[in-house]
A and B are shown apart, each in its own frame.
Chain A
Protein backbone atom coordinates (compact mmCIF):
# COMPACT_ATOMS: atom_id res chain seq x y z
CA UNK A 1 0.00 0.00 0.00
CA UNK A 2 2.80 2.40 -0.85
CA UNK A 3 1.50 5.76 -1.84
CA UNK A 4 3.13 8.87 -3.11
CA UNK A 5 2.09 12.27 -1.89
CA UNK A 6 4.14 14.25 -4.31
CA UNK A 7 2.03 16.99 -5.81
CA UNK A 8 2.47 17.33 -9.50
CA UNK A 9 1.13 20.24 -11.41
CA UNK A 10 0.18 21.32 -14.89
CA UNK A 11 1.68 19.41 -17.77
CA UNK A 12 3.63 17.04 -15.51
CA UNK A 13 0.42 15.93 -13.85
CA UNK A 14 -1.38 15.57 -17.14
CA UNK A 15 1.43 13.38 -18.47
CA UNK A 16 1.77 11.25 -15.34
CA UNK A 17 -1.98 10.70 -15.26
CA UNK A 18 -1.99 9.97 -18.97
CA UNK A 19 -5.00 12.28 -18.86
CA UNK A 20 -7.34 12.37 -21.82
CA UNK A 21 -10.09 14.99 -22.04
CA UNK A 22 -12.79 14.10 -24.49
CA UNK A 23 -16.41 14.49 -25.47
CA UNK A 24 -18.66 12.10 -27.33
CA UNK A 25 -22.15 12.46 -28.79
CA UNK A 26 -24.42 9.60 -27.71
CA UNK A 27 -28.11 8.82 -28.34
CA UNK A 28 -27.88 10.45 -31.73
CA UNK A 29 -29.80 7.79 -33.65
CA UNK A 30 -31.77 6.19 -30.81
CA UNK A 31 -32.87 8.61 -28.07
CA UNK A 32 -32.37 7.96 -24.36
CA UNK A 33 -35.52 6.65 -22.64
CA UNK A 34 -35.76 8.60 -19.40
CA UNK A 35 -37.44 7.48 -16.16
CA UNK A 36 -40.01 10.25 -16.70
CA UNK A 37 -41.13 8.54 -19.88
CA UNK A 38 -39.65 11.25 -22.08
CA UNK A 39 -37.24 10.35 -24.84
CA UNK A 40 -34.23 12.57 -25.18
CA UNK A 41 -31.25 12.96 -27.44
CA UNK A 42 -28.65 13.54 -28.55
CA UNK A 43 -26.52 13.69 -25.41
CA UNK A 44 -22.99 15.03 -25.49
CA UNK A 45 -20.87 13.56 -22.71
CA UNK A 46 -17.75 15.35 -21.51
CA UNK A 47 -15.36 12.97 -19.77
CA UNK A 48 -11.80 12.43 -18.72
CA UNK A 49 -9.75 9.28 -18.48
CA UNK A 50 -6.57 8.71 -16.50
CA UNK A 51 -4.21 5.76 -16.77
CA UNK A 52 -4.30 3.09 -19.45
CA UNK A 53 -6.93 0.53 -20.31
CA UNK A 54 -5.30 -2.91 -20.20
CA UNK A 55 -5.54 -5.39 -23.06
CA UNK A 56 -8.34 -7.32 -21.39
CA UNK A 57 -10.21 -4.03 -20.75
CA UNK A 58 -10.73 -5.19 -17.19
CA UNK A 59 -9.11 -2.41 -15.15
CA UNK A 60 -11.58 0.46 -15.60
CA UNK A 61 -12.67 2.39 -12.52
CA UNK A 62 -15.77 4.52 -13.01
CA UNK A 63 -15.68 7.60 -10.77
CA UNK A 64 -19.05 9.26 -10.16
CA UNK A 65 -19.20 12.88 -9.08
CA UNK A 66 -21.47 14.63 -6.59
CA UNK A 67 -24.06 17.39 -7.09
CA UNK A 68 -21.65 20.22 -7.82
CA UNK A 69 -18.72 18.12 -9.00
CA UNK A 70 -17.69 17.45 -12.56
CA UNK A 71 -15.28 15.33 -14.58
CA UNK A 72 -12.26 17.30 -13.33
CA UNK A 73 -11.63 14.62 -10.72
CA UNK A 74 -7.84 14.69 -10.84
CA UNK A 75 -7.00 17.54 -13.19
CA UNK A 76 -7.18 21.17 -12.02
CA UNK A 77 -10.52 22.86 -12.63
CA UNK A 78 -10.40 25.18 -15.66
CA UNK A 79 -12.51 27.90 -14.02
CA UNK A 80 -11.30 27.89 -10.43
CA UNK A 81 -7.78 26.58 -11.04
CA UNK A 82 -8.17 24.39 -7.96
CA UNK A 83 -6.93 20.78 -7.84
CA UNK A 84 -9.33 18.11 -9.04
CA UNK A 85 -12.00 17.30 -6.45
CA UNK A 86 -10.61 13.82 -5.82
CA UNK A 87 -6.97 14.53 -6.69
CA UNK A 88 -6.03 13.32 -3.19
CA UNK A 89 -7.45 9.90 -4.10
CA UNK A 90 -6.69 9.56 -7.81
CA UNK A 91 -3.21 9.61 -9.29
CA UNK A 92 -0.02 7.66 -9.80
CA UNK A 93 0.71 5.69 -6.64
CA UNK A 94 -2.43 6.96 -4.98
CA UNK A 95 -5.44 5.07 -3.67
CA UNK A 96 -7.01 4.86 -7.13
CA UNK A 97 -3.65 4.25 -8.73
CA UNK A 98 -3.56 5.52 -12.29
CA UNK A 99 -0.53 3.30 -12.89
CA UNK A 100 -2.88 0.34 -12.35
CA UNK A 101 -6.37 1.44 -13.20
CA UNK A 102 -8.04 3.16 -16.12
CA UNK A 103 -10.14 5.85 -14.48
CA UNK A 104 -13.22 7.15 -16.29
CA UNK A 105 -15.05 10.18 -14.94
CA UNK A 106 -17.80 11.94 -16.87
CA UNK A 107 -19.87 15.02 -16.23
CA UNK A 108 -23.42 13.91 -15.36
CA UNK A 109 -26.46 14.30 -17.57
CA UNK A 110 -27.98 17.67 -16.69
CA UNK A 111 -24.58 19.08 -15.73
CA UNK A 112 -23.01 22.27 -16.96
CA UNK A 113 -19.37 21.40 -17.67
CA UNK A 114 -19.75 19.92 -21.13
CA UNK A 115 -22.33 17.15 -20.82
CA UNK A 116 -25.76 18.03 -22.18
CA UNK A 117 -27.78 19.94 -19.62
CA UNK A 118 -30.25 22.83 -19.42
CA UNK A 119 -27.71 25.38 -20.65
CA UNK A 120 -26.80 23.29 -23.74
CA UNK A 121 -28.22 24.28 -27.10
CA UNK A 122 -31.17 22.24 -28.32
CA UNK A 123 -30.09 21.14 -31.83
CA UNK A 124 -33.70 21.53 -32.97
CA UNK A 125 -33.88 25.26 -32.14
CA UNK A 126 -30.31 26.34 -31.59
CA UNK A 127 -31.42 27.88 -28.29
CA UNK A 128 -30.51 26.59 -24.84
CA UNK A 129 -32.94 24.03 -23.41
CA UNK A 130 -33.37 25.95 -20.15
CA UNK A 131 -36.58 24.67 -18.52
CA UNK A 132 -37.33 22.74 -21.71
CA UNK A 133 -34.73 20.25 -20.51
CA UNK A 134 -36.47 17.08 -19.31
CA UNK A 135 -36.52 16.22 -15.60
CA UNK A 136 -33.93 13.52 -15.03
CA UNK A 137 -33.12 10.97 -12.34
CA UNK A 138 -29.94 9.48 -10.93
CA UNK A 139 -30.72 6.31 -12.90
CA UNK A 140 -30.84 8.40 -16.10
CA UNK A 141 -27.36 9.74 -15.32
CA UNK A 142 -26.12 6.17 -14.93
CA UNK A 143 -27.73 5.07 -18.20
CA UNK A 144 -25.59 7.67 -19.95
CA UNK A 145 -22.46 6.47 -18.12
CA UNK A 146 -23.12 2.88 -19.16
CA UNK A 147 -23.53 4.06 -22.75
CA UNK A 148 -20.18 5.83 -22.43
CA UNK A 149 -18.61 2.54 -21.33
CA UNK A 150 -20.14 0.88 -24.41
CA UNK A 151 -18.52 3.59 -26.49
CA UNK A 152 -15.16 2.91 -24.82
CA UNK A 153 -15.57 -0.81 -25.52
CA UNK A 154 -15.56 -1.77 -21.84
CA UNK A 155 -17.92 -4.67 -21.09
CA UNK A 156 -17.36 -4.64 -17.34
CA UNK A 157 -15.83 -1.94 -15.18
CA UNK A 158 -13.62 -3.23 -12.40
CA UNK A 159 -15.08 -0.75 -9.92
CA UNK A 160 -17.55 2.09 -9.58
CA UNK A 161 -16.86 4.60 -6.80
CA UNK A 162 -18.43 7.87 -5.75
CA UNK A 163 -19.49 9.91 -2.75
CA UNK A 164 -22.80 11.64 -1.98
CA UNK A 165 -24.79 11.79 -5.23
CA UNK A 166 -21.85 9.89 -6.74
CA UNK A 167 -22.60 7.11 -4.27
CA UNK A 168 -26.24 7.05 -5.40
CA UNK A 169 -25.00 6.54 -8.95
CA UNK A 170 -22.78 3.69 -7.73
CA UNK A 171 -25.82 2.02 -6.15
CA UNK A 172 -27.73 2.38 -9.42
CA UNK A 173 -24.79 0.89 -11.31
CA UNK A 174 -24.76 -2.14 -9.06
CA UNK A 175 -28.53 -2.52 -8.99
CA UNK A 176 -29.36 -2.01 -12.65
CA UNK A 177 -26.16 -3.18 -14.30
CA UNK A 178 -24.72 -5.86 -11.98
CA UNK A 179 -22.94 -7.51 -14.90
CA UNK A 180 -21.24 -4.25 -15.86
CA UNK A 181 -19.34 -3.65 -12.63
CA UNK A 182 -17.24 -6.05 -10.53
CA UNK A 183 -17.18 -4.09 -7.30
CA UNK A 184 -18.94 -0.99 -5.98
CA UNK A 185 -17.94 1.63 -3.40
CA UNK A 186 -20.86 3.83 -2.37
CA UNK A 187 -19.42 6.46 -0.03
CA UNK A 188 -21.23 8.91 2.29
CA UNK A 189 -24.51 8.24 0.58
CA UNK A 190 -28.00 6.77 0.93
CA UNK A 191 -30.44 4.56 -0.92
CA UNK A 192 -33.40 6.77 -0.07
CA UNK A 193 -33.04 10.55 -0.03
CA UNK A 194 -34.42 11.89 3.24
CA UNK A 195 -37.14 14.47 3.84
CA UNK A 196 -34.51 16.70 5.47
CA UNK A 197 -32.35 16.56 2.36
CA UNK A 198 -35.30 17.30 0.07
CA UNK A 199 -36.10 20.23 2.35
CA UNK A 200 -32.60 21.68 2.00
CA UNK A 201 -32.73 21.22 -1.77
CA UNK A 202 -36.03 23.07 -1.88
CA UNK A 203 -34.51 26.01 0.01
CA UNK A 204 -31.79 26.16 -2.63
CA UNK A 205 -34.20 25.99 -5.52
CA UNK A 206 -36.48 28.62 -4.04
CA UNK A 207 -33.49 30.93 -3.55
CA UNK A 208 -32.64 30.59 -7.23
CA UNK A 209 -36.21 31.01 -8.44
CA UNK A 210 -36.79 34.00 -6.15
CA UNK A 211 -33.93 35.85 -7.83
CA UNK A 212 -35.51 38.19 -10.43
CA UNK A 213 -32.47 37.53 -12.62
CA UNK A 214 -33.65 33.94 -13.00
CA UNK A 215 -36.36 35.24 -15.38
CA UNK A 216 -38.49 32.12 -15.19
CA UNK A 217 -35.46 30.05 -16.13
CA UNK A 218 -34.78 32.06 -19.33
CA UNK A 219 -31.85 34.09 -17.98
CA UNK A 220 -29.47 32.86 -20.68
CA UNK A 221 -31.68 34.34 -23.40
CA UNK A 222 -32.22 37.53 -21.41
CA UNK A 223 -28.49 37.97 -20.89
CA UNK A 224 -28.86 37.82 -17.13
CA UNK A 225 -27.68 35.51 -14.36
CA UNK A 226 -29.37 34.62 -11.05
CA UNK A 227 -26.00 34.52 -9.30
CA UNK A 228 -27.40 35.93 -6.04
CA UNK A 229 -29.99 33.17 -5.76
CA UNK A 230 -27.50 30.49 -6.74
CA UNK A 231 -24.98 31.84 -4.23
CA UNK A 232 -27.56 31.65 -1.43
CA UNK A 233 -28.42 28.09 -2.50
CA UNK A 234 -24.76 27.19 -2.28
CA UNK A 235 -24.31 28.87 1.09
CA UNK A 236 -27.22 26.98 2.61
CA UNK A 237 -26.08 23.70 1.10
CA UNK A 238 -22.49 24.27 2.17
CA UNK A 239 -23.50 24.34 5.82
CA UNK A 240 -24.98 20.87 5.42
CA UNK A 241 -21.63 19.57 4.15
CA UNK A 242 -19.86 20.58 7.37
CA UNK A 243 -20.31 19.79 11.04
CA UNK A 244 -20.76 22.06 13.99
CA UNK A 245 -17.43 20.85 15.33
CA UNK A 246 -15.69 21.69 12.07
CA UNK A 247 -17.31 25.13 11.87
CA UNK A 248 -16.42 25.89 15.49
CA UNK A 249 -12.84 24.74 15.03
CA UNK A 250 -12.39 26.67 11.81
CA UNK A 251 -14.19 29.87 12.71
CA UNK A 252 -15.67 29.87 16.15
CA UNK A 253 -17.04 33.37 16.69
CA UNK A 254 -13.95 34.97 15.22
CA UNK A 255 -14.53 38.36 13.63
CA UNK A 256 -13.60 39.16 10.05
CA UNK A 257 -10.97 41.92 9.68
CA UNK A 258 -12.25 43.85 12.68
CA UNK A 259 -11.71 44.23 16.38
CA UNK A 260 -15.33 44.30 17.48
CA UNK A 261 -18.79 43.70 16.14
CA UNK A 262 -20.03 46.39 13.77
CA UNK A 263 -23.70 46.67 14.74
CA UNK A 264 -24.68 46.21 11.10
CA UNK A 265 -25.17 43.57 8.47
CA UNK A 266 -21.70 43.42 7.04
CA UNK A 267 -19.90 40.11 7.36
CA UNK A 268 -18.80 40.66 10.95
CA UNK A 269 -17.97 37.02 11.47
CA UNK A 270 -15.41 34.94 9.63
CA UNK A 271 -17.98 32.24 9.04
CA UNK A 272 -20.20 34.71 7.19
CA UNK A 273 -17.33 35.88 5.06
CA UNK A 274 -16.39 32.28 4.34
CA UNK A 275 -19.91 31.37 3.23
CA UNK A 276 -20.19 34.47 1.06
CA UNK A 277 -16.93 33.50 -0.58
CA UNK A 278 -18.20 29.95 -1.14
CA UNK A 279 -21.32 31.34 -2.74
CA UNK A 280 -19.60 33.85 -4.99
CA UNK A 281 -16.96 31.46 -6.34
CA UNK A 282 -19.55 28.76 -6.96
CA UNK A 283 -21.62 30.91 -9.30
CA UNK A 284 -18.62 31.35 -11.56
CA UNK A 285 -18.57 27.67 -12.38
CA UNK A 286 -22.14 26.46 -12.03
CA UNK A 287 -25.38 26.94 -13.91
CA UNK A 288 -28.47 27.77 -11.85
CA UNK A 289 -30.82 25.63 -13.92
CA UNK A 290 -28.43 22.67 -13.66
CA UNK A 291 -28.64 23.12 -9.90
CA UNK A 292 -32.44 22.86 -10.09
CA UNK A 293 -32.40 19.74 -12.24
CA UNK A 294 -29.68 17.85 -10.40
CA UNK A 295 -31.09 18.54 -6.92
CA UNK A 296 -34.46 17.33 -8.24
CA UNK A 297 -32.85 14.12 -9.45
CA UNK A 298 -31.56 13.56 -5.92
CA UNK A 299 -34.97 14.32 -4.39
CA UNK A 300 -36.48 11.57 -6.55
CA UNK A 301 -33.86 9.04 -5.48
CA UNK A 302 -35.65 6.25 -3.63
CA UNK A 303 -34.36 2.75 -4.34
CA UNK A 304 -36.53 0.95 -1.78
CA UNK A 305 -39.53 2.86 -3.14
CA UNK A 306 -38.83 1.34 -6.54
CA UNK A 307 -38.79 -2.15 -5.04
CA UNK A 308 -41.99 -2.33 -3.00
CA UNK A 309 -40.24 -0.84 -0.01
CA UNK A 310 -37.56 -3.54 0.07
CA UNK A 311 -34.11 -2.23 -0.73
CA UNK A 312 -32.76 -5.80 -0.66
CA UNK A 313 -34.84 -6.56 -3.77
CA UNK A 314 -32.72 -4.05 -5.68
CA UNK A 315 -29.72 -6.33 -5.14
CA UNK A 316 -31.20 -9.83 -5.38
CA UNK A 317 -28.59 -12.41 -6.44
CA UNK A 318 -26.11 -9.61 -7.08
CA UNK A 319 -22.61 -10.78 -7.96
CA UNK A 320 -21.22 -7.31 -7.19
CA UNK A 321 -18.84 -6.92 -4.23
CA UNK A 322 -19.63 -3.87 -2.12
CA UNK A 323 -17.61 -1.65 0.17
CA UNK A 324 -19.84 0.87 1.95
CA UNK A 325 -18.19 3.79 3.75
CA UNK A 326 -19.74 6.44 6.00
CA UNK A 327 -18.33 9.22 8.17
CA UNK A 328 -19.27 9.54 11.81
CA UNK A 329 -20.05 13.28 11.77
CA UNK A 330 -21.92 13.31 8.43
CA UNK A 331 -25.44 14.44 9.27
CA UNK A 332 -26.53 14.92 5.65
CA UNK A 333 -25.93 11.24 4.83
CA UNK A 334 -25.62 9.80 8.32
CA UNK A 335 -24.13 6.40 9.09
CA UNK A 336 -27.60 4.94 9.60
CA UNK A 337 -28.27 5.52 5.88
CA UNK A 338 -25.21 3.43 5.06
CA UNK A 339 -26.26 0.83 7.60
CA UNK A 340 -29.60 0.52 5.83
CA UNK A 341 -27.70 -0.24 2.62
CA UNK A 342 -25.51 -2.79 4.42
CA UNK A 343 -28.55 -4.42 6.03
CA UNK A 344 -30.28 -4.75 2.65
CA UNK A 345 -27.15 -6.17 1.06
CA UNK A 346 -26.85 -8.71 3.88
CA UNK A 347 -30.49 -9.65 3.39
CA UNK A 348 -29.71 -10.14 -0.30
CA UNK A 349 -26.73 -12.34 0.68
CA UNK A 350 -24.41 -9.94 -1.11
CA UNK A 351 -20.71 -9.67 -0.42
CA UNK A 352 -20.42 -6.45 1.54
CA UNK A 353 -17.80 -4.67 3.59
CA UNK A 354 -18.63 -1.63 5.69
CA UNK A 355 -16.60 0.93 7.58
CA UNK A 356 -17.71 4.00 9.48
CA UNK A 357 -14.74 6.35 9.42
CA UNK A 358 -14.34 8.45 12.55
CA UNK A 359 -14.13 12.07 11.44
CA UNK A 360 -15.47 15.35 12.76
CA UNK A 361 -15.48 17.02 9.35
CA UNK A 362 -19.05 16.21 8.36
CA UNK A 363 -20.20 15.14 4.91
CA UNK A 364 -17.26 16.92 3.26
CA UNK A 365 -14.92 14.33 4.80
CA UNK A 366 -15.24 12.18 1.69
CA UNK A 367 -13.44 14.89 -0.29
CA UNK A 368 -10.76 15.51 2.31
CA UNK A 369 -7.57 13.80 3.29
CA UNK A 370 -8.98 11.17 5.64
CA UNK A 371 -6.30 8.46 6.03
CA UNK A 372 -8.70 5.83 7.37
CA UNK A 373 -11.03 6.33 4.42
CA UNK A 374 -8.14 6.18 1.98
CA UNK A 375 -6.72 3.04 3.62
CA UNK A 376 -10.10 1.34 3.43
CA UNK A 377 -10.57 2.09 -0.26
CA UNK A 378 -6.98 1.13 -1.10
CA UNK A 379 -7.28 -2.15 0.81
CA UNK A 380 -10.63 -3.04 -0.71
CA UNK A 381 -9.47 -2.30 -4.25
CA UNK A 382 -6.29 -4.35 -3.74
CA UNK A 383 -8.26 -7.30 -2.37
CA UNK A 384 -10.80 -7.06 -5.20
CA UNK A 385 -8.10 -6.74 -7.87
CA UNK A 386 -6.62 -9.99 -6.62
CA UNK A 387 -10.00 -11.66 -6.69
CA UNK A 388 -10.70 -10.32 -10.16
CA UNK A 389 -7.32 -11.64 -11.29
CA UNK A 390 -6.01 -8.23 -12.27
CA UNK A 391 -2.25 -8.21 -12.48
CA UNK A 392 -0.22 -5.07 -12.63
CA UNK A 393 2.90 -5.74 -14.65
CA UNK A 394 4.42 -2.30 -14.32
CA UNK A 395 3.99 -1.71 -10.63
CA UNK A 396 7.32 0.02 -10.11
CA UNK A 397 7.64 3.63 -11.10
Chain B
Protein backbone atom coordinates (compact mmCIF):
# COMPACT_ATOMS: atom_id res chain seq x y z
CA UNK B 1 0.00 0.00 0.00
CA UNK B 2 3.02 2.24 0.41
CA UNK B 3 5.87 2.36 -2.05
CA UNK B 4 9.53 1.56 -1.38
CA UNK B 5 9.24 -1.80 -3.07
CA UNK B 6 12.92 -2.49 -2.81
CA UNK B 7 13.84 -6.05 -3.56
CA UNK B 8 16.59 -8.12 -2.02
CA UNK B 9 18.97 -10.45 -3.81
CA UNK B 10 16.48 -13.30 -3.24
CA UNK B 11 13.92 -11.38 -5.25
CA UNK B 12 11.57 -10.77 -2.35
CA UNK B 13 10.66 -7.31 -1.04
CA UNK B 14 13.23 -6.30 1.57
CA UNK B 15 10.72 -5.70 4.33
CA UNK B 16 9.29 -9.16 3.68
CA UNK B 17 12.78 -10.65 3.88
CA UNK B 18 13.32 -8.91 7.22
CA UNK B 19 10.01 -10.29 8.46
CA UNK B 20 10.92 -13.78 7.33
CA UNK B 21 14.14 -13.58 9.34
CA UNK B 22 12.11 -12.89 12.48
CA UNK B 23 10.10 -16.09 12.03
CA UNK B 24 11.47 -19.22 13.63
CA UNK B 25 11.76 -22.32 11.49
CA UNK B 26 8.69 -24.58 11.33
CA UNK B 27 6.30 -22.05 12.86
CA UNK B 28 2.58 -21.67 12.33
CA UNK B 29 2.08 -18.34 10.59
CA UNK B 30 -0.91 -16.20 9.61
CA UNK B 31 -0.20 -13.43 7.10
CA UNK B 32 -2.95 -10.83 7.30
CA UNK B 33 -3.29 -8.87 4.07
CA UNK B 34 -1.10 -11.41 2.31
CA UNK B 35 -1.71 -10.11 -1.22
CA UNK B 36 -0.84 -12.80 -3.73
CA UNK B 37 1.01 -14.79 -1.08
CA UNK B 38 4.61 -13.74 -1.86
CA UNK B 39 5.70 -13.79 1.78
CA UNK B 40 3.74 -16.94 2.62
CA UNK B 41 5.28 -18.84 -0.27
CA UNK B 42 8.72 -17.63 0.83
CA UNK B 43 8.09 -18.63 4.45
CA UNK B 44 6.87 -22.07 3.44
CA UNK B 45 9.81 -22.70 1.15
CA UNK B 46 12.61 -21.22 3.26
CA UNK B 47 11.36 -21.35 6.83
CA UNK B 48 9.24 -24.51 6.58
CA UNK B 49 6.34 -22.53 7.96
CA UNK B 50 2.81 -23.87 8.14
CA UNK B 51 1.29 -20.80 6.56
CA UNK B 52 -2.20 -19.35 6.29
CA UNK B 53 -3.26 -16.10 4.69
CA UNK B 54 -6.05 -13.56 4.72
CA UNK B 55 -6.59 -11.11 1.90
CA UNK B 56 -9.34 -8.65 1.05
CA UNK B 57 -9.03 -8.60 -2.74
CA UNK B 58 -10.42 -11.54 -4.67
CA UNK B 59 -7.66 -11.31 -7.30
CA UNK B 60 -5.04 -11.59 -4.56
CA UNK B 61 -6.81 -14.58 -3.01
CA UNK B 62 -7.11 -16.30 -6.38
CA UNK B 63 -3.42 -15.84 -7.21
CA UNK B 64 -2.42 -17.09 -3.77
CA UNK B 65 -4.77 -20.08 -3.94
CA UNK B 66 -3.37 -20.90 -7.38
CA UNK B 67 0.09 -21.13 -5.75
CA UNK B 68 -1.26 -23.84 -3.49
CA UNK B 69 -1.50 -21.53 -0.47
CA UNK B 70 -4.30 -21.64 2.09
CA UNK B 71 -5.72 -18.15 1.83
CA UNK B 72 -9.17 -16.92 2.76
CA UNK B 73 -10.94 -13.82 1.62
CA UNK B 74 -11.33 -11.70 4.70
CA UNK B 75 -10.92 -8.32 6.34
CA UNK B 76 -8.36 -7.68 9.09
CA UNK B 77 -10.80 -5.35 10.84
CA UNK B 78 -13.58 -7.92 11.21
CA UNK B 79 -12.41 -11.45 10.49
CA UNK B 80 -9.48 -11.94 12.87
CA UNK B 81 -12.11 -12.42 15.56
CA UNK B 82 -12.94 -15.78 13.97
CA UNK B 83 -9.64 -17.39 14.94
CA UNK B 84 -9.20 -19.12 18.27
CA UNK B 85 -6.72 -17.87 20.90
CA UNK B 86 -3.10 -18.83 20.39
CA UNK B 87 -3.70 -20.46 17.00
CA UNK B 88 -0.43 -19.21 15.52
CA UNK B 89 3.19 -18.67 16.48
CA UNK B 90 3.32 -15.51 14.38
CA UNK B 91 0.64 -13.24 12.98
CA UNK B 92 2.06 -10.92 10.35
CA UNK B 93 0.68 -7.62 9.12
CA UNK B 94 2.98 -6.15 6.49
CA UNK B 95 2.23 -2.60 5.35
CA UNK B 96 -1.47 -3.06 6.00
CA UNK B 97 -1.88 -1.51 9.47
CA UNK B 98 -2.25 1.99 8.03
CA UNK B 99 -5.16 0.78 5.86
CA UNK B 100 -7.21 -0.72 8.69
CA UNK B 101 -10.16 1.04 10.30
CA UNK B 102 -9.14 0.20 13.83
CA UNK B 103 -5.39 -0.44 14.00
CA UNK B 104 -5.41 -0.72 17.78
CA UNK B 105 -8.03 -3.50 17.76
CA UNK B 106 -6.22 -5.26 14.92
CA UNK B 107 -2.95 -5.36 16.89
CA UNK B 108 -4.83 -6.64 19.94
CA UNK B 109 -6.46 -9.39 17.86
CA UNK B 110 -3.09 -10.34 16.37
CA UNK B 111 -1.63 -10.89 19.83
CA UNK B 112 -4.70 -12.81 20.92
CA UNK B 113 -4.49 -15.35 18.13
CA UNK B 114 -0.68 -15.39 17.86
CA UNK B 115 2.17 -15.70 20.34
CA UNK B 116 3.99 -13.04 18.36
CA UNK B 117 2.89 -10.29 16.04
CA UNK B 118 5.07 -8.83 13.33
CA UNK B 119 3.93 -5.44 12.07
CA UNK B 120 5.55 -3.41 9.34
CA UNK B 121 4.37 0.04 8.31
CA UNK B 122 5.55 3.14 6.47
CA UNK B 123 6.90 5.74 8.89
CA UNK B 124 5.02 9.00 8.44
CA UNK B 125 7.71 10.90 10.38
CA UNK B 126 10.37 10.32 7.74
CA UNK B 127 12.22 13.59 7.11
CA UNK B 128 11.04 13.86 3.52
CA UNK B 129 7.44 13.65 4.58
CA UNK B 130 8.02 16.22 7.30
CA UNK B 131 9.82 18.53 4.88
CA UNK B 132 7.14 18.09 2.24
CA UNK B 133 4.44 19.15 4.63
CA UNK B 134 6.54 22.00 6.05
CA UNK B 135 7.48 23.45 2.67
CA UNK B 136 4.30 22.88 0.68
CA UNK B 137 1.61 22.79 3.34
CA UNK B 138 -0.08 19.90 1.55
CA UNK B 139 -0.45 16.21 2.31
CA UNK B 140 2.72 14.67 0.88
CA UNK B 141 2.46 12.78 -2.39
CA UNK B 142 5.73 11.23 -3.50
CA UNK B 143 7.26 7.91 -4.46
CA UNK B 144 6.98 6.76 -0.84
CA UNK B 145 3.38 7.94 -0.39
CA UNK B 146 1.90 7.74 -3.86
CA UNK B 147 -1.78 8.53 -3.17
CA UNK B 148 -3.64 11.82 -2.92
CA UNK B 149 -5.39 12.38 0.38
CA UNK B 150 -8.86 11.86 -1.08
CA UNK B 151 -8.19 8.48 -2.62
CA UNK B 152 -5.62 6.89 -0.36
CA UNK B 153 -6.44 3.52 1.19
CA UNK B 154 -4.01 4.51 3.95
CA UNK B 155 -6.42 6.06 6.41
CA UNK B 156 -4.37 5.59 9.59
CA UNK B 157 -0.80 6.64 9.01
CA UNK B 158 1.43 6.64 12.06
CA UNK B 159 5.01 7.32 12.99
CA UNK B 160 7.45 5.01 14.70
CA UNK B 161 6.95 6.94 17.92
CA UNK B 162 3.17 6.73 17.61
CA UNK B 163 3.39 2.98 17.21
CA UNK B 164 5.79 2.66 20.13
CA UNK B 165 3.29 4.58 22.25
CA UNK B 166 0.50 2.24 21.16
CA UNK B 167 2.55 -0.79 22.15
CA UNK B 168 3.15 0.75 25.56
CA UNK B 169 -0.57 1.51 25.98
CA UNK B 170 -1.45 -2.07 25.05
CA UNK B 171 1.13 -3.49 27.42
CA UNK B 172 2.85 -5.19 24.52
CA UNK B 173 6.55 -6.00 24.62
CA UNK B 174 8.62 -4.90 21.63
CA UNK B 175 10.95 -7.84 21.17
CA UNK B 176 12.72 -6.41 18.16
CA UNK B 177 12.40 -3.37 15.95
CA UNK B 178 14.12 -2.58 12.69
CA UNK B 179 14.20 0.47 10.48
CA UNK B 180 14.71 0.61 6.74
CA UNK B 181 16.19 3.76 5.27
CA UNK B 182 15.53 5.02 1.78
CA UNK B 183 18.47 3.04 0.36
CA UNK B 184 16.96 -0.16 1.70
CA UNK B 185 19.62 -0.45 4.40
CA UNK B 186 18.46 -2.06 7.61
CA UNK B 187 19.16 -0.49 10.99
CA UNK B 188 18.26 -1.91 14.34
CA UNK B 189 16.92 0.85 16.56
CA UNK B 190 15.59 1.19 20.04
CA UNK B 191 11.99 2.09 20.52
CA UNK B 192 12.67 5.67 21.61
CA UNK B 193 15.23 6.46 18.94
CA UNK B 194 14.60 9.91 17.46
CA UNK B 195 17.06 9.09 14.74
CA UNK B 196 15.03 6.13 13.45
CA UNK B 197 11.84 8.16 13.49
CA UNK B 198 13.52 10.74 11.28
CA UNK B 199 15.41 8.50 8.86
CA UNK B 200 13.34 5.33 8.59
CA UNK B 201 11.09 4.92 5.55
CA UNK B 202 9.63 1.70 6.91
CA UNK B 203 9.65 0.05 10.31
CA UNK B 204 9.24 -3.60 11.28
CA UNK B 205 8.23 -4.50 14.84
CA UNK B 206 8.29 -7.94 16.44
CA UNK B 207 5.81 -7.88 19.32
CA UNK B 208 5.02 -10.21 22.16
CA UNK B 209 2.25 -10.10 24.73
Contact = CB atoms under 8 A, between A and B. Distances in A.
Contact of A376 (B65, B67, B74, B83): B65
Contacts of A384: 68
B69 interface: yes
B72 A353 contact: yes
Classify the secondary structure of B's interface with A: mixed
B182 to A, nearest CB: 36
A383 interface: yes
B66 A351 contact: no
Given A376-B65, A379-B66, A343 B73 contact: no
A355 B73 contact: yes
Nearest to B81: A343
Contacts of A382: 66, 68
Nearest to A347: B84
Contacts of B28: 349
B69 A383 contact: yes
B83 A383 contact: no
Given A342-B82, A347-B84, A354 B62 contact: no
B61 interface: yes
Interface string A130-160: 0000000000000000000000000000000
A44 interface: no
A1 B65 CA distance: 13
B71 interface: yes
A380 B73 CA distance: 14
Contact of B83 (A347, A354, A375, A379): A347
B73 to A, nearest CB: 5
B58 interface: yes
B191 interface: no
A354 B66 CA distance: 12
Given A355-B58, A372-B58, A342 B68 contact: no
B22 interface: no
B47 interface: no
Given A321-B70, A354-B74, A383-B68, A346 B62 contact: no
A383 B73 contact: no
- CB-based closest 8 A-B pairs: A383-B68, A379-B66, A354-B72, A351-B70, A343-B82, A353-B65, A379-B65, A380-B65
Interface of A: 1, 321, 323-324, 339, 342-343, 346-347, 349, 351-358, 372, 375-376, 378-380, 382-384, 386-387
Given A354-B72, A355-B65, 8 more contacts: A343-B82, A346-B72, A349-B87, A353-B64, A353-B65, A353-B70, A375-B62, A376-B61
